[in-house]
Amino acid sequence: MIAAIAIFCLMGSTIVNGYVIDGNGLMLGRDFLNMWHYGIAAFSDNPAAFYDFDTYNARLDVLVPDYPDQNWSYPPHFMLISAPFGLLGYNAALALMTGLSVICFWYFVVRDFDEPVYRKSVWLMPAFVFALICGQLSAMLAAVFILIYRNLDKRPILAGILIALLTIKPQVGFLFPIFLIATQRWHVLLSASVATIVFIGASIALYGIEIWQVFLFSQVGEQSDLLFHSHPLTRGLMPSLAANFGIVGLGKDWSLILHSLVALMVVAIMVWCCLRCKDRFLQFAVFILCCFIATPYLMAYDTIILCWIAVAMLSRYGASGWQQMSYRLVFALIPIGVALSMLHVPGSSLVMLLLLAWTLSETGLFDRKPGLVAAE
């Protein structure tokens, strides 16, 4: 499966102006290209100009003539993290980013498991390979999620700072405030709030408030349209419910309405689980799954943390027949989503719902006389 993903992404690659270009005309590390330009923009006089679609794509055409159009879609404070990469050439910056991703993945994700069979399973995550090829931050985001989990109660200030870092991709952790309130982790909530204000405030101090106005009034809407007006292959890489509803032909309004109804239900489930279940791991696993199900915008390479949850579930609790199937489907989420989307059939979001059912089944909340599940 991993070889198939690599071949799919790299087939027909050529060298243009010193850059590796795949068969679709995209640079190796296609998404890192945006991150690199955030690093360049961090030292420019008018970074807000990059949010203009035509201006940004004209910049890309300087690197590779007639380069496929891309959106510059991250929030402005992403420049604070990307700035060091902007000091390097693209290929060197991509190599550094890839190396850091592999190191973080090994140290914080793979080493979380003692058994060699589980470590091997984590290394072979298709989502991890796909993220590396795309030049995405996903391996580091998975490490941040795990670090947050480890430090929620031991080091609440550190956990809060790490949660603030996730605001560069707000869609993957937007339920953190509700989770922290439901679990009464007030110190973490305070730390996360202060760190987020400082993080965003630093970007305003450096680049002005105008860049945030440009971002909020231009890019947020464009990202929403991407869910419903992109190629079926691209939507197949979006395992959100909203994208899946769009795959079957529902319009934007109905897709978002149905998605919102399901989102409200899973948020209620998350709160209920936080109040009734005292197993820290299951609390956190349910939170992440509900967060990913509730967000309308999610990319397949961001699901690395879901593979970690599936392996952890298997190592901690074992698995029955349908739970083993859930474990395998989580790893196959990317090819499932792509294959079904080309047939206009939804499916990738159902994988997340199945994994949520598995985690909830281990809480004991559905027993006839449920009690508070003991903490781990």
| Residue 107 near residue 238, CB atoms below 8 Å | no
pTM of this structure: 0.90
| pLDDT, position 147 | 96
Cα(336)–Cα(194) distance, rounded to whole angstroms? Answer: 40
Query: Can you say how many angstroms the Cα of residue 103 is from the centroid of all Cα atoms in its chain?
Result: 18
According to DSSP, the residues that pair with 20 across neighbouring strands are 15
In a domain, 374, yes or no: no
Task: Give the mean pLDDT per block of 10 residues along the chain (376 residues).
Answer: 54 77 84 94 92 91 90 92 96 95 94 88 86 91 96 96 94 94 97 97 94 82 62 77 82 87 95 92 96 91 93 91 91 85 80 94 73 50
Alpha carbon distance 80, 38 (integer Å)? 9
Buried b (16+ CB within 10 A) or exposed e, 278-316: bbebbbbbbbbbbbbbbbbbbbbbbbbbbbbbbbbbbbe
Q: Tell me if 27 is assigned to some domain.
A: no
* Residues 10, 70: Cα–Cα separation, whole Å: 19
Q: What is the pLDDT of residue 232?
A: 65
Q: Which of 222, 250, 258 is nearest to 74 (CA)?
A: 222
Token pair for 137: 């931050």
Q: Which of 280, 268, 267, 266 has its CA nearest to residue 183?
A: 280
154 in a structural domain? yes
Whether residue 179 lies inside any domain: the answer is yes
Distances (CA, A) of 50 to 30, 70, 76, 181, 288: 17, 11, 11, 37, 32
Number of structural domains in the chain: 1
Specify if 326 maps to a domain: yes
Domain membership of residue 265 (yes or no) is yes
SS3 content of the chain, % helix, strand, coil (to 5): 70, 0, 25
Contact (Cβ atoms closer than 8 angstroms) between residue 133 and residue 10: yes
The range of the structural domain enclosing residue 350 comes to 99-363
Q: What is the CA radius of gyration of the chain?
A: 20
Helix (H) or strand (E) holding 335: helix 333-342
DSSP sequence for 154-189: T-HHHHHHHHHHGGGSGGGSTTHHHHHHHTT-HHHH
> Treating both helix axes as pointing N-terminal to C-terminal, what angle do 156-165 and 138-151 enclose, rounded to 10 degrees?
160
CA angle 161, 164, 167 (to 5 degrees): 160
* pLDDT value of residue 227: 62
- Residue 231 included in any domain: yes
Instruction: Please compute, for residue 111, the number of CA atoms within 13 A of its CA located in the half-sphere on the CB side.
Output: 9
Q: According to the model, what pLDDT value does residue 225 have? A: 62
Amino acid at the residue 4: A
Q: Count the neighbouring beta carbons within 10 Å of the beta carbon of residue 335.
A: 18
